[in-house]
Amino acid sequence: MYYCMKQNVCPITLGHPVQIVLLQEMMSFINGSMSPQKRNETSNFVFRNAFFFLDFQDDETADENDLMTIRKTQRLVEMQRHKMRSKYICDPRKLIEAGNHFVWESIEGQQPLHVSEEIGFLHHYRECLIQENGKCGGVDEPNIFDRTVPDKYGQELTHRVYATIEKTSNCFKTY
User: For the whole model, what pTM was predicted?
Assistant: 0.71
Residue 164 lies in a domain: yes
Total number of domains constituting the chain: 1
Residue 175 lies in a domain: no
Residue 129 lies in a domain: yes
Residue 130 lies in a domain: yes
CA distance 111 to 92: 13
Residue 110 lies in a domain: yes
Residue 144 lies in a domain: yes
Residue 158 lies in a domain: yes
Which residues constitute the domain of residue 118? 3-170
Q: In what order do the strands lie in the sheet with 120-126?
A: 12-14, 120-126, 49-53
Residue 33 lies in a domain: yes
What are the pLDDT digits (tens) for 6-60? 334 445 555 544 455 566 666 777 777 778 888 889 999 999 999 999 989 999 9
